[in-house]
Structure 1
Amino acid sequence: MGTVIMHNVVSVDGFIADENDDVGPLHDWYFNGDTPITEAGDQQYDHSGAGSGFKVSSASAKYVRPMWEEIGTIVMGRNLFDLVNGWEGQPPAGDHVVVVSHRPKPEGWHPEASYHFVDDVTAAIDKAQELAGERTVAVNAGEVGSQIFAAGLVDEVAMDVVPAVFGSGKRYFGSIDGQHLLEDPHVVIQGDRVLHLKFKVRR
């Protein structure tokens, strides 16, 4: 099985969006460099769902590009799916998407896309790993991500920390209870207006 990584861009005070799901300046670093994340500079989708080519600093590209190439499946919650309309069936990384939701896939929505709707976080990870094989399963942070993390199903936490303070909003770790320990960061990379961190989850 591939590694399960919980991942998101986050403010220094731990928020992934404001109360209205607006990411504000959190994704600015995706567009402030001169190096495409994808080799071909493909059109991709940011959190707002607006198509745009990602161009980052060379330091960020060296980190993000291989990470994205390793992703086989993305796991997301229904809230994010609805916000970006599932990236119109074309996820920014990976070949498959698992959506944790009590509601089914919208009728007639991109039947060609490998999107799977399940109503349980454990079943979501099982399905994601089945689809990803040896590749990485990337879990979006937030409420669904925190449930997967609390269930002990996350191997690593990856945070792209942006120098911004939100004060309130949607938390990276959602409404998780209790203390959970991570190992020391094994990746620390400074990009332009972003700090890339990766921690293994302490078992």
Structure 2
Amino acid sequence: MGTVIMHNVVSVDGFIADRNDDVGPLHDWYFNGDTPLIEDAGYDHSGSGNRIKVSRISAEYVRPMWASIGVIIMGRNLFDLVNGWEGSPPAGDHVVVVSHRPKPEGWHPEASYHFVDDVTAAIDKAQELAGDRTIAVNAGEVGGQILAAGLVDEVAMDLVPVVFGSGKRFFGPVEGQHLLEDPHVVIQGEGVLHLKFRVRR
């Protein structure tokens, strides 16, 4: 079965967006380099109209990580914010959306997007679709629920030097203590620190 990685860009005080779901300067590192991250993107995942170009060091880390992904798990809030990336996710072949509402009628019928109503069902469906490939869980409320359920193997953070003060938390409303191992990946890019931690069992 594939490794389940909870992942997101995050501020140094632990937020993935402000209270209005605006990422502000969190994604600036996607545009401060000269190395294209996605060679031929059908959808502008940055939402800015700018082509994603990162530092060479970040590209060497992010490209193989994204290439390993078979399935992305996201919450309905993010799906609605980005309109499901118009059926073209930044990585992987499939997306599982945790939502109590069904897929919008007529929305990109060609896209492999699956809507389920709880996080356990999301992991089960993702494992079925991913095979041995990685399952990437977007951080936030859904990611925190999956972590709390003991279903996350690794936590990956792209830590940027920004302090938000408040907003949407990386781990969502997760309660209780969850221990991580020492980071086994520490890579300093331009304006971002890439970190990976295994979840302690």
What TM bracket, shorter-length normalisation? over 0.9
- Once the two structures are TM-superposed, the CA of residue 54 in structure 1 deviates from its matched residue by 1.4
Aligned to 2:23: 23
Gaps spanning 5+ residues in structure 1: where? none
% same residue: 82
Instruction: Report how many residues are paired.
Output: 201
Q: State the AA in 2 paired with 1:84.
A: V
Aligned to 2:164: 166
Distance 1:134 1:180 in 2: 26
Distance 1:13 1:46 in 2: 24
- 1:35-83 CA-to-partner distances (Å, cap 9, x unmatched) read 0113x35354336x44542110001000000000000000000000000
- Once the two structures are TM-superposed, the CA of residue 178 in structure 1 deviates from its matched residue by 1.1
Normalising to structure 1: TM-score of the pair? Answer: 0.96
1:49-198 mapped onto 2 (5 Å cutoff): 49-198=47-196
Q: State the AA in 1 paired with 2:174.
A: I
Aligned-CA RMSD value: 1.1
Q: State the AA in 2 paired with 1:156.
A: E
- Once the two structures are TM-superposed, the CA of residue 167 in structure 1 deviates from its matched residue by 0.1
- Match of 1:45, SS state, is coil
Aligned to 1:9: 9
Gaps spanning 5+ residues in structure 2: where? none
Q: State the AA in 1 paired with 2:44.
A: Y
Seen in structure 2, the aligned counterparts of structure 1 residues 97 and 134 have a Cα distance that, compared at 3 Å, is: same
Aligned to 2:41: 42
- Match of 2:196, SS state, is strand
- Match of 1:103, SS state, is coil
- Match of 2:195, SS state, is strand
Query: Contact 2:140/2:168 (CA < 8 Å) preserved in 1?
Result: yes
- 1:82-126 CA-to-partner distances (Å, cap 9, x unmatched) read 000000000000000000000000000000000000001001011
Distance 1:195 1:96 in 2: 28
- Match of 1:122, SS state, is helix
Seen in structure 2, the aligned counterparts of structure 1 residues 93 and 122 have a Cα distance that, compared at 3 Å, is: same
Query: Contact 1:41/1:53 (CA < 8 Å) preserved in 2?
Result: no
Distance 1:96 1:199 in 2: 24
Seen in structure 2, the aligned counterparts of structure 1 residues 27 and 63 have a Cα distance that, compared at 3 Å, is: same
- 1:129-168 CA-to-partner distances (Å, cap 9, x unmatched) read 1111110000000000000000000000000000000000
